[in-house]
Amino acid sequence: MIRLAIQKSGRLSEDSLSLIRECGISFVSSSYKLKTEATNFPLEILYLRDDDIPGYVQDGVADLGVVGQNVLVEAGLPELEVEPLGFSKCRLSLAVPRGEAYASVADLQGKNIATSYPQILGTYLAGHGVQANLHTISGSVEIAPSIGLADAICDIVSSGSTLLGNGLREVETVFRSEAVLIANRALSAEKQALLEQLQFRMQAVRRARRNKYIVLNAPVASLDAVKALLPGIKSPTVTPLAEQGWVSVQSVVNEDDFWHVTDQLKAVGAEGILVLPIEKMIS
């Protein structure tokens, strides 16, 4: 049995639960329970506040955890990371009041900065040779300048609309974060084997999310051009159509290249392009 800690309720919760489910692990979750046992994998899920997850994994209360790198690095435990998970991407940024002149980080010398991330910000400022007074506050950091508590802030930014609403301007990216899988450094051999099974499944789920299955018809004359656009995993599958001079081509395409590739496929004569989601992709 292995114990995985995830955020009880917040921005990481839903994606953490879907990732576990997409790994083929079934469980009943309810918002008021503290833990759940999976029915088809030796896994127990603990629901915790995200800030508590790195410490619990470090101490072995939980074997594994899903947490943002921002929280992990702030807790001083980056060495627990075993696998990036590709969701909850965000950045920690410095912001100053919009009217304020700002040329570079050096302008923050001696200033008061409010943040919930004193460790990460302290390291960043030290790296730029800047000394500032950091005021650690746990929430509503963005209102600090307007109430006279600070000259600048350092906080998580996603859209920037919260900053705008508080009359602030983003000036530096201090740290980029995403959700990661973390693990205790001294797992038993049995737990280590379960971790590896989980990692194998998570990687298959992530690869599948990044790729699409594509099926199309093309004239035989365009086949070389189509093959060059769709190299696939090994090479595309090509089968003849009942209609003379035409083939059906099946392959896998990276989601990032998808629109670009389909435009080019149409340009070389491909027709009837179908795109399907992939559930799992085993390398």
Residues forming contacts to ligand ATP in the complex (CB under 6 A) are: 7, 10-12, 49-51, 68, 70-71, 88-90, 156, 158, 177
- Binding partner of 78, given ligand ATP, Zn ion, none, CB within 5-8 angstroms per partner class: none
Residue closest to 152 by CA, chosen among 110, 102, 93, 96: 96
Instruction: Return the number of the residue (43 or 67) whose C-beta is nearest Zn ion.
Output: 67
Beta-carbon contacts of 55 under 8 Å, excluding residues fewer than 6 positions away, are 75, 77
Instruction: Return the number of the residue (10 or 240) whose C-beta is nearest ligand ATP.
Output: 10
Beta bridge partners of 218: 247
Binding Zn ion (rule: CB under 5 A), the pick from 15, 51, 100, 178 is 51
Least Cβ distance, residue 191 to ligand ATP (angstroms): 25
CA distance 238 to 227: 9
Least Cβ distance, residue 74 to ligand ATP (angstroms): 9
Instruction: Return the number of the residue (71 or 181) whose C-beta is nearest ligand ATP.
Output: 71
**50 contributes a contact to Zn ion by CB under 5 A:** yes
**257 contributes a contact to Zn ion by CB under 5 A:** no
Which two three-digit tokens encode residue 159? 């859209």
- Binding partner of 105, given Zn ion, ligand ATP, none, CB within 5-8 angstroms per partner class: none
Instruction: Return the number of the residue (70 or 93) whose C-beta is nearest ligand ATP.
Output: 70
Instruction: Return the number of the residue (156 or 214) whose C-beta is nearest ligand ATP.
Output: 156
Which two three-digit tokens encode residue 93? 């940024």
Tell me the three state secondary structure of residue 108.
helix
Instruction: Return the number of the residue (104 or 158) whose C-beta is nearest ligand ATP.
Output: 158
Least Cβ distance, residue 72 to ligand ATP (angstroms): 9
Cα end-to-end distance, the chain, whole Å: 26
Least Cβ distance, residue 192 to ligand ATP (angstroms): 26
In terms of Cβ atoms closer than 10 Å to its own Cβ (0-12, 13-18, 19+), residue 148 is: exposed
What is the DSSP secondary structure assignment for residue 128, as one 8-state letter? T
- Binding partner of 107, given ligand ATP, Zn ion, none, CB within 5-8 angstroms per partner class: none
Strands (E), the chain: 2-7, 35-37, 43-48, 64-68, 81-84, 90-97, 112-115, 133-136, 152-157, 168-177, 179-183, 211-219, 237-240, 246-254, 271-277
**22 contributes a contact to Zn ion by CB under 5 A:** no
Least Cβ distance, residue 266 to ligand ATP (angstroms): 35
Q: Return the residue nearest ligand ATP (CB atom).
A: 68
Least Cβ distance, residue 13 to Zn ion (angstroms): 12
Do 160 and 170 touch, CB atoms closer than 8 A? yes
CA distance 45 to 33: 10
Least Cβ distance, residue 72 to Zn ion (angstroms): 12
Tell me, by CB under 5 A, how many residues bind Zn ion. Answer: 2
Do 264 and 229 touch, CB atoms closer than 8 A? yes
